Amino acid sequence: MEDLITPGWDLFRDNSIYIVSGPLARLPGGFLEGIRGVQRKGLFHLSDESFVGGYDIYAAFDFVLRNYYSSIFDNAEIRTVPLGFTNEMMGLYQTPPANERRFLWSFAGFKRAARLEMFEQFKSLEPYQCHFFDDKTRQPWLNRTQFRALLSNSVFSPCPMGNTVVESFRIMYSNIRAAEVDAIL
């Protein structure tokens, strides 16, 4: 197996899986023409949370894997796979047992109606830590290290709807202690 990167969108090989991140409309016409001549090919379409279209290219592939479910993709050749956790959250780190964590719950994310409603429902459950970021200034922002620390010091983190879809990275990096991860693996 080989991993090949083609910045010019000009590599066409049989028995391949093509990975595309973002809007499909930005793919050059030459790629679309070239891919039609490839035999036994799949597409892994990532980062399409906003469902911006261009899905006619799916017909050029034998199968499609993608993140973010929508009923518009109910087709035997199109499969939705979970997001998983982001690379920034990888790595096992020590997390205290639930009864030793500082917060019962925590949340950090942009202000959205569903998230504000979540806060109203949970605010009586103390202690908690909640950070709502402003859309324009992104303040008060938490970097990845601060976010990981917040999650590891919380018994649970609610996962209200994201910016566009229900699926959220928060589900994937829940607060599992390193020893528990070792036991799972």
Count of CA atoms in the C-beta half-sphere (13 A) of 181: 13
Q: What residues does each domain of the chain span?
A: 16-80, 87-184
Mind listing the pLDDT tens digit for each residue in 45-76?
Answer: 988 888 888 999 999 999 999 988 888 888 88
Average pLDDT over every residue of 148-171: 75
State if pTM tops 0.85. Answer: no
Q: Give pLDDT, residue 17.
A: 95
Among 80, 22, 29, 75, residue whose Cα is nearest residue 46: 22
Q: Give pLDDT, residue 49.
A: 82
**48-52, 96-100, 148-152, 166-170: which has the minimum mean pLDDT?**
166-170
